[in-house]
């Protein structure tokens, strides 16, 4: 992928190098032990609930109110606004910048409104988000409350060592997927789904979560198609890298690796086949309207 030619986004906060654990006491978040954090991350994976929301709720229960707000001195704020200079930081900022340029054009033409870009927070180990504490164990996620993507850049290395996936477009797909959730938020989809989930059974809630995730995969494909049409950004093998990434993180494959069998009713992100198919649906069409997983005949 020719990401070096992309414009780096100005909407990136670089919090790496701030202690590696977000500056929280006890090696956890807001006083939570690391064991509790891991358990909450597992619960989030099973239920489809953003782990940051679960951790934030646990913090509030322990603190008797709202999670404490992060206090940042002006010098730290200024340093965070400085564009990253390391390769992984520059890569993330460049991919985000390209999603901004693409969606800025697509929104007026395809959905009839202005695109308001998401921010991105780069961190190491842990930090605070608008949804509670962010921990590296969660993987990349989007927080709809502060409209930011949170990314521990070590996840790129984890993709290679844990999932056997590597390549710049595979990493770009992950970022574009999270930006896809921001697109959903801008369209009012996430709030509606959350309301439906609160009145649904666990199985039905999981099914709604799958539709949300597959739509984000499809929107990542829409971005890839339009980025390539406008910037000639893709190279030979890039789409195959995205397919390998989508396949590696399918619920069925992950469950079979961890427990030897898959339980479809517990899926929250979709099977490998579904994730690959919906990315390609978006990539082939280049149209946001093709990503309506809620009206599709099949997931």
pLDDT tens, position by position, 53-85: 555 544 444 444 444 455 566 556 666 778 899
Closest Cα partner for 247 from 224, 296, 219, 280?
A: 280
Residue 82's CB: how many other CB atoms inside 10 A?
Answer: 10
Asked, for residue 299, whether it belongs to a domain, the answer is no
Asked, for residue 232, whether it belongs to a domain, the answer is yes
Q: What angle do CA 86, 88, 22 make, to 5 degrees?
A: 90
Note the pLDDT of residue 292: 96
The position carrying tokens 């799958």 is 210
Asked, for residue 267, whether it belongs to a domain, the answer is yes
Decide if 290 contacts 223 (C-beta within 8 A): no
What is the layout of strands, in order, in the sheet containing 12-14?
Answer: 12-14, 119-123, 148-152, 141-143
Residue 47's CB: how many other CB atoms inside 10 A?
Answer: 17
Closest Cα partner for 115 from 288, 298, 291?
A: 288
Asked, for residue 193, whether it belongs to a domain, the answer is yes
User: Does residue 297 have a pLDDT over 70?
Assistant: yes
Q: State how far the Cα of 286 lies from the Cα of 221, in Å rounded to an integer.
A: 7
User: For 157-238, where are the E strands, in sequence order?
Assistant: none
The position carrying tokens 């978040």 is 29
3-state SS assignment for residue 10? coil
Dihedral pair phi/psi, residue 134, rounded to 5°: -100, 130
Asked, for residue 297, whether it belongs to a domain, the answer is no
Window from 42-46, 86-90, 178-182 with minimum mean pLDDT? 42-46
What tens digit of pLDDT does each residue of 170-185 get?
999 999 999 999 999 9
What tens digit of pLDDT does each residue of 108-125 get?
999 999 999 999 999 999
DSSP state of 17: T
Asked, for residue 161, whether it belongs to a domain, the answer is yes
Asked, for residue 201, whether it belongs to a domain, the answer is yes
Note the pLDDT of residue 47: 42
Count: domains in the chain = 1
Dihedral pair phi/psi, residue 170, rounded to 5°: -60, -40
Asked, for residue 248, whether it belongs to a domain, the answer is yes
- CA 173 to chain centroid, in Å, comes to 10
> What is the percentage of the chain residues whose pLDDT exceeds 70?
80
Over residues 211-240, the mean pLDDT reads 97
How long a stretch of residues is the chain?
299
Decide if 168 contacts 236 (C-beta within 8 A): no
Number of H helices, E strands in the chain: 11, 6
The position carrying tokens 């896809």 is 180
Bridge partners of residue 129, in order along the sequence:
132
Range of the domain at 198: 3-291
Q: State how far the Cα of 138 lies from the Cα of 42, in Å rounded to an integer.
A: 9
């Amino acid at each position: 992928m020719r990401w070096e030619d992309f414009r780096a986004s100005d909407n990136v906060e670089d919090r790496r190098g701030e202690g590696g654990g977000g500056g929280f006491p006890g090696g956890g978040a807001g006083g939570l032990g690391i064991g509790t954090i891991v358990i909450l991350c597992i619960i989030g994976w099973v239920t489809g609930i953003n782990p940051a929301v679960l951790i934030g709720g646990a913090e509030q229960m322990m603190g008797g109110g709202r999670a404490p707000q992060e206090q940042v001195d002006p010098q730290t704020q200024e340093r965070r606004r400085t564009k990253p200079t390391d390769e992984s930081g520059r890569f993330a900022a460049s991919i985000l910048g390209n999603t901004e340029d693409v969606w800025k054009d697509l929104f007026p033409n395809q959905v009839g409104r202005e695109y308001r870009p998401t921010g991105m927070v780069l961190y190491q180990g842990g930090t605070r988000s608008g949804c509670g504490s962010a921990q590296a164990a969660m993987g990349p996620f989007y927080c709809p409350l502060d409209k930011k993507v949170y990314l521990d850049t070590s996840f790129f290395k984890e993709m290679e060592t844990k999932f056997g996936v590597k390549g710049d477009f595979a990493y770009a797909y992950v970022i574009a997927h999270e930006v896809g959730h921001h697109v959903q938020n801008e369209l009012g989809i996430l709030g509606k789904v959350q309301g439906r989930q609160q009145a649904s059974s666990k199985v039905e809630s999981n099914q709604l979560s799958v539709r949300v995730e597959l739509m984000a995969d499809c929107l990542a494909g829409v971005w890839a198609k339009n980025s390539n049409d406008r910037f000639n950004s893709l190279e030979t093998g890039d789409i195959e890298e995205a397919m390998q990434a989508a396949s590696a993180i399918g619920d069925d494959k992950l469950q079979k690796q961890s427990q030897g069998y898959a339980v479809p009713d517990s899926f929250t992100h979709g099977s490998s086949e579904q994730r690959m198919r919906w990315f390609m649906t978006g990539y082939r069409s280049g149209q946001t309207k093709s990503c309506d997983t809620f009206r599709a005949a099949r997931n």
